[in-house]
């Protein structure tokens, strides 16, 4: 075999092998499948949070009780580890300054009409709350000691943006 042909074949083989290893389509992430409708929580629902200041830790447990999916049930205990939440006062473009926003996600089973779990759905959400603050007056206990008043918040769901994907 001619030396030039051998070198050309070696270069062609190296180029093809490099393309298969480094440039193929097979290495990418799987496609994302969106599911509609994506129900997380209804507008107008009000939840009460006790204690100042308002924080993610105080909202997290209260909010989970109002989701469309029962993620706190013992039957789906394994899904609790997928519940994440982060809350903040409105500060981004398009947000209302006086609203309290919570963003996060959780995983919930998607069931058919017969109650059979078909798949699990990852539900990502952003919820905007209007906030009303209440402060109780200090009070005197039966020993005459003045106790500080309690602060609590009523949060009303005003906006919901949610996306569901197959988990």
Phi, psi of 133 (to 5 degrees): -100, 140
> Which pLDDT does position 148 carry in this prediction?
85
Residue 9 pLDDT class (50, 70, 90 cuts): low
Q: Is 103 helix (H, G, I), strand (E, B) or coil?
A: strand
Residue 121, C-beta contacts closer than 8 angstroms, at least 6 positions apart = 35, 38, 107, 108, 109, 110, 164, 165, 166, 167
Residues 15-61: tens digit of each pLDDT: 555 555 555 555 667 788 888 899 999 999 999 999 889 999 999 98
Has this prediction a pTM greater than 0.95?
no
The count of residues in the chain is: 167
47 closest CA partner among 127, 104, 106, 114: 127
Mean per-residue pLDDT for 81-96? 94
In the predicted structure, residue 162 carries a pLDDT above the cut 90: yes
Mean per-residue pLDDT for 81-87? 93
């Amino acid at each position: 075999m001619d030396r030039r042909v051998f070198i050309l074949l070696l270069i062609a083989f190296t180029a093809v092998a490099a393309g298969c290893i480094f440039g193929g389509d097979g290495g990418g992430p799987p496609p994302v499948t969106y599911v509609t409708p994506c129900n997380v929580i209804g507008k107008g629902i009000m939840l009460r949070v006790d204690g100042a200041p308002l924080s993610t830790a105080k909202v997290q447990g209260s909010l989970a009780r109002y989701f469309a999916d029962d993620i706190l049930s013992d039957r789906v205990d394994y899904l609790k580890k997928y519940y994440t939440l982060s809350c903040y006062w409105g500060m981004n473009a398009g947000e209302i300054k006086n609203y309290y926003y919570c963003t996060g996600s959780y995983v919930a089973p998607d069931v058919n009409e017969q109650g059979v779990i078909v798949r699990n759905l990852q539900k990502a959400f952003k919820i905007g709350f209007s906030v009303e603050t209440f402060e109780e007056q200090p009070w005197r206990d039966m020993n005459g000691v003045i106790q500080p008043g309690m602060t609590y918040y009523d949060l009303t769901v005003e906006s919901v943006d949610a996306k569901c994907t197959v988990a």
